[in-house]
């Protein structure tokens, strides 16, 4: 604990007005981060530090280890890290304070978890998505953070994978994400339906996360989830009309309307007709909310 307190002091010195003190602190912390053993103290730092900047530093060290040294770590250490991060993400997801004052720490944890998933999903962690989707229904805070994790995972695989993932691994991850989308879709619909049925019992922040996450999926999910369900009706008639959700629903509608259906698709005519109807209904709804002057 004394060493963690000293680390807190060094981190705080980074923000000193004295340039020499700041430079010295930076040298010490850089050396600490470059030490190959420093990741082994992350749990101690997180449990005993009273400074969020120190905790963020520790999480940076752990994320760097996962990204750069994961394959070289023994299996027992991989399992230990995976279990520790998962439990920490769940506990912080339940914590209201973590979703406000400590949000940057939770975001960093999510990024670290996604880095692990990219390594382990197709081998030792094949039940990752079904497991977190089921667990999410037990607590709104966990559910909101799970949706944030799924959005981040989708972005990492479909938007940014060219930079960090080998093409073969990227294709495997994309196939996995598509194959397991049923669990993700069911979770999103669960959140939306629960709000429709009893809006007072569902946090607005959870609904907003759900809409943002769903919007990030629309460019790659199978068309059946869009055109052969009632999701478009829900978005238009239950969420776009609500001022507090309008800005988060709009990207969903725009993405759906802009999908380019392959002309060789057997359901091309059916799907494009539904796109046209969506556009017309959207225009009508926009006129209605404009008349109400409650944009």
Tens-digit pLDDT string for the chain (295 aa) = 789 999 999 999 998 889 999 999 999 999 999 998 999 999 999 999 999 999 999 999 999 999 999 999 999 999 999 999 999 999 998 887 666 667 899 999 999 999 999 999 888 898 999 999 999 999 999 999 999 999 999 998 887 654 556 677 778 888 888 889 999 999 999 999 999 999 999 999 999 999 999 999 998 999 999 999 999 999 999 999 999 999 999 999 999 999 999 999 999 999 999 999 999 999 988 888 777 555 4
Give this prediction's pTM: 0.88
CA 186 to chain centre: 17
Q: Do the Cβ atoms of 246 and 208 come closer than 8 Å?
A: no
Q: Are 78 and 91 in contact (CB under 8 A)?
A: no
Contacts of 16 (CB under 8 A, 6+ apart): 22, 25
H-type alpha helices, 198-242: 204-217, 224-227, 231-234
Burial of 138 (0-12, 13-18, 19+ CB in 10 A): exposed
CB 92 within 8 A of CB 109: yes
Start-to-end C-alpha separation, the chain: 53
């Amino acid at each position: 604990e004394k060493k963690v307190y000293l680390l807190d002091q060094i981190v705080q010195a980074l923000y000193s007005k004295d340039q020499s003190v700041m430079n010295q602190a930076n040298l010490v912390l850089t050396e600490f981060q470059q030490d190959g053993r420093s990741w082994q103290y992350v749990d101690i730092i997180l449990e005993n530090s009273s400074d969020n900047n120190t905790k963020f530093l520790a999480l940076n060290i752990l994320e760097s280890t996962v990204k750069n040294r994961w394959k070289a770590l023994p299996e027992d250490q991989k399992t230990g890290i995976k279990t520790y991060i998962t439990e920490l993400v769940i506990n912080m997801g339940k914590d209201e304070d973590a979703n406000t004052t400590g949000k940057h720490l939770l975001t960093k944890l999510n990024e670290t978890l996604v880095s692990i998933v990219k390594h382990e999903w197709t081998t030792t962690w094949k039940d990752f998505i079904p497991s977190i989707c089921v667990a999410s229904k037990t607590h709104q805070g966990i559910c909101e953070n799970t949706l944030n994790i799924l959005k981040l995972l989708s972005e990492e695989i479909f938007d940014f994978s060219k930079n960090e993932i080998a093409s073969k691994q990227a294709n495997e991850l994309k196939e996995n994400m598509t194959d397991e989308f049923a669990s993700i879709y069911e979770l999103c619909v669960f959140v939306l339906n629960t709000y429709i049925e009893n809006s007072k019992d569902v946090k607005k922040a959870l609904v907003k996360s759900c809409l943002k996450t769903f919007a990030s999926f629309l460019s790659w999910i199978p068309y059946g989830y869009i055109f052969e369900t009632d999701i478009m009706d829900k978005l238009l008639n239950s969420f776009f009309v609500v001022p507090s959700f309008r800005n988060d629903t709009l990207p969903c509608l725009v993405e759906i309307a802009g999908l380019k259906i392959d002309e060789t698709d057997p359901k091309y005519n059916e799907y494009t007709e539904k796109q046209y109807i969506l556009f017309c209904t959207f225009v009508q709804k926009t006129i209605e909310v404009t008349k109400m002057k409650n944009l």
